[in-house]
């Protein structure tokens, strides 16, 4: 087995990893924004369930969450594909961490901004949408970038439920050519690094654009 024989399956796995990362990050962002804003609600019926969700998903293992979604939910009649199970587990787990990022960023916006919105007779929703969230979003970008990279690395766990991501493909190749283990795993490291570098570059670009728009 040559180097050129290793590349196609690893690149196929990279495509699955990228899809999983994009879908999971999108779900995590939506969940994080909704939970982060809800976390600040003055209503206990809203705030307490969200706090419970955040603490549960932050306080338990992502691997166990993934296994529970993929292996346990079918016992209750809910069967998900491997990709859907991976997206749901990763999105809910990192969404819980992202919710704290959103909460912290919103609370970091100066109180005077809220008071100005009240003086202009804006509703709470209008203040959040037009004044508070746009300013908080700029502060969210760097930690969200870190979370997406952590999410990327967490996608390797889906290989344990049989999804053909990069890690799964690398392990299959290793069983066929164990003497090439250093090369196979070295290529895997490089692919993860390249994807993480692209994510990091994109988030820095977004941060600059958001900062210009804010100023």
Q: Mind listing the pLDDT tens digit for each residue in 166-210?
A: 999 999 998 888 888 899 999 999 999 999 999 999 999 988 888
CATH of the domain at 177: 1.10.3720.10
Average pLDDT over residues 103-122: 84
Neighbours of 14 (CB within 10 A): 18
Burial class from Cβ neighbours inside 10 Å (0-12, 13-18, 19+) for residue 167 reads buried
- Lowest mean pLDDT segment, chosen from 8-17, 117-126, 159-168: 117-126
Average predicted confidence (pLDDT) for the chain: 91
Domain that holds residue 74: 3-214
Domain count, the chain: 1
pTM, 2 dp: 0.90
Distance CA 40, CA 43 (A): 9
- What pLDDT, on the 0 to 100 scale, is given for residue 92? 97
User: What is the spatial distance between Cα 153 and Cα 135, in angstroms, rounded to a whole number?
Assistant: 29
**Other beta carbons within 10 Å of 10:** 18
Is the model's pLDDT at 214 over the cut of 60?
no
Q: Tell me the mean pLDDT in the region 26-41.
A: 94
Alpha carbon of 83 to those of 62, 99, 150, 209: distances in Å? 15, 23, 18, 32
Q: Determine the average pLDDT of the residues in 137-161.
A: 93
**Confidence at residue 22, expressed as pLDDT on a 0 to 100 scale:** 97
């Amino acid at each position: 087995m040559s180097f050129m024989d290793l590349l196609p399956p690893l690149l196929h796995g990279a495509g699955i990893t990228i899809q999983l990362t994009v879908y999971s990050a999108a779900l995590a962002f939506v969940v994080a924004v909704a939970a982060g804003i809800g976390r600040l609600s003055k209503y206990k019926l809203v705030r307490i369930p969200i706090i419970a969700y955040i603490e549960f998903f932050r306080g338990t293992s992502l691997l166990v969450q993934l296994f529970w979604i993929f292996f346990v939910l079918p016992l209750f009649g809910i069967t998900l594909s491997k990709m859907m199970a991976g997206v749901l587990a990763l999105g809910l787990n990192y969404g819980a961490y992202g919710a704290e990022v959103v909460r912290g960023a919103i609370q970091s916006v100066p109180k005077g901004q809220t008071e100005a919105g009240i003086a202009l007779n804006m509703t709470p929703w209008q203040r959040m949408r037009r004044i508070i969230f746009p300013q908080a979003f700029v502060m969210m970008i760097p930690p969200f970038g870190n979370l997406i990279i952590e999410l990327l690395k967490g996608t390797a766990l889906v290989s344990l439920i049989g999804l053909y991501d990069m890690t799964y493909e690398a392990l299959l190749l290793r069983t066929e050519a164990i003497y090439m283990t250093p090369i196979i795993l070295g290529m895997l490291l490089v692919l993860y690094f390249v994807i993480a570098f692209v994510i990091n570059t994109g988030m820095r670009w977004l941060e600059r654009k958001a900062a210009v728009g804010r100023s």
